[in-house]
Amino acid sequence: MPTDHPTSKTYLLILLSQSFAPAERILEGTGLARRDVDTLDAVDFSTVQTVVRNVERYSNDPAWPAKLGSRVGITSHGTVGFAALSAPSVGQALTTFVRWEPIRTPGYRATTWEQNGQIAISVRDTTGDPTYHRAFCLIFLRGLETLIGAIINQPCHGQTTLALPGTPANARRALAEEFESTLDFPETGDFTLRVPKHLWTRPSPLSDPEAHRLNLQKCEQIVAERDSTATLDLILQTLLRQHFEQNVSDRGEPVPPPTSGQMADRLHLSERTLIRRLKSLGTSYRALIEESRQNTAAHLLTDARYRVADIADLLGYQTPSNFSRAFSRWFGVSPGRFETPAEANEADQS
């Protein structure tokens, strides 16, 4: 169904700066001239749809969305981009970006799952506009490749796989020249990125837990300002972060995270409705708790006041060993071997 959320004008400005088609052609039927775009706060979705159709019509380059994805740097995504770049691992960076990018570019739902030693991120349309969805997915997936490359400081050539369903045969070579992943071209299915687990759990040298936390708070503030139009997963993410921060700030006995039933009561929903709505968003309450625990754990491990056992308690684990197993699954190392970028630099210089 169509989205009511506006899209950041940054993406339109970058598109107009490229040579895919003349600006007047790109803006045809929008009621906008090139000079008008600079004065906008954001771009309504109907305008975005028109722009995408125009570029499809007037550009002779079938790979233009992938090229645009290369040119939209991660920092062009504002707070979402900075939150992703400061995440503690490659997987957390991708998860952060996929989770929060809808506040800047709505119109999709993403699902993440593990299969055969790989983590897969699939993107599904919520707009009902197949032309827009295809262009968006190519831009989005190229952006995820760019994010991985920024973290590992090299292109991810051959390390990841992309499924690009329904790609015409005459467009495949051009797309293969733009993407770094190994490409599959199934007839049907979802646009999907697959990342090997060893790369997913790789610690990020750009990790900055404090910057990550602050940028996530800014994302949450945007959600709060939208209030009723915010999606349920983002609302729950905000409430869970606040729960764990309350545990850290209180001096009493840590409180376990609320159950799905307790959270449903807080939001005046039935538990069944909460579970169903999260499933429609491609996630689950358990997955949201795990994601919040990951972020909080990485942040607390930078503070020498907290032992592994303390962090396990604060995150609601029954034993430190349970927490350590979960942490190793998230980051590929035990909590005791987890290094912040500052610690890694000190080790390199010694």
Do 87 and 202 contact (CB within 8 A), yes or no? no
Task: Flag whether the pTM goes above 0.85.
Answer: no
Residue boundaries of the structural domains of the chain: 7-200, 231-344
Sign of dihedral through CA atoms 146, 149, 155, 161? negative
pLDDT score of 342 = 44
CA distance linking residue 311 with residue 14, whole number of Å: 43
User: Which 3 state secondary structure label does DSSP give 184?
Assistant: strand
- Domain 7-200: assigned CATH number: 3.90.1520
pLDDT score of 183 = 97
pLDDT score of 130 = 93
Structure-derived torsion over alpha carbons of residues 82, 86, 92, 95, reported in degrees to the nearest 10: 0
The whole-number average pLDDT for the span 145-168 is 94
Per-residue pLDDT at 204 exceeds 70: yes
The whole-number average pLDDT for the span 3-12 is 77
User: Which 3 state secondary structure label does DSSP give 253?
Assistant: coil
Do 301 and 340 contact (CB within 8 A), yes or no? yes
Confidence grade of residue 227 (pLDDT, cut at 50, 70, 90):
low
CA distance linking residue 340 with residue 290, whole number of Å: 20
pLDDT score of 5 = 63
pLDDT score of 344 = 45
pLDDT > 70 in the chain, percent = 94
pLDDT > 90 in the chain, percent = 60
pLDDT score of 249 = 86
pLDDT score of 333 = 80
Do 32 and 73 contact (CB within 8 A), yes or no? no
The whole-number average pLDDT for the span 284-292 is 91
Per-residue pLDDT at 293 exceeds 70: yes
Sign of dihedral through CA atoms 64, 65, 70, 72? positive
Confidence grade of residue 19 (pLDDT, cut at 50, 70, 90):
very high
Task: Give domain 231-344's CATH architecture.
Answer: Orthogonal Bundle (1.10)
Q: What is the CA 101 to chain-centroid distance, rounded?
A: 6
Confidence grade of residue 341 (pLDDT, cut at 50, 70, 90):
very low
The whole-number average pLDDT for the span 223-249 is 80
Task: Count other Cβ atoms within 10 Å, centred on residue 216.
Answer: 24
pLDDT score of 83 = 96
Confidence grade of residue 170 (pLDDT, cut at 50, 70, 90):
very high
Condensed to tens digits (0 to 9), the pLDDT of residues 109-150 reads 888 888 788 999 999 888 889 999 999 999 999 999 999 999
The whole-number average pLDDT for the span 188-198 is 94
Listed in order, strand segments (DSSP E) in the chain are 7-8, 42-43, 108-115, 118-125, 161-163, 182-184, 191-196
Hey, what are 269's tokens?
């929903």
Confidence grade of residue 177 (pLDDT, cut at 50, 70, 90):
very high
The whole-number average pLDDT for the span 24-47 is 93
Condensed to tens digits (0 to 9), the pLDDT of residues 47-89 reads 999 999 999 999 999 999 999 999 988 888 899 999 999 999 9
pLDDT score of 112 = 85
Do 160 and 181 contact (CB within 8 A), yes or no? yes
The whole-number average pLDDT for the span 341-346 is 46
Please give the angle made by the CA atoms of 191, 331 and 104, to the nearest 5 degrees: 45
Q: Tell me the angle at which helices 209-226 and 232-249 cross, rounded to the nearest 10 degrees.
A: 130
DSSP string, 60-122: --TTHHHHHHHHS-GGGGHHHHHHHHTSSBHHHHHHHHHHHGGGTS-SEEEEEEEETTEEEEE
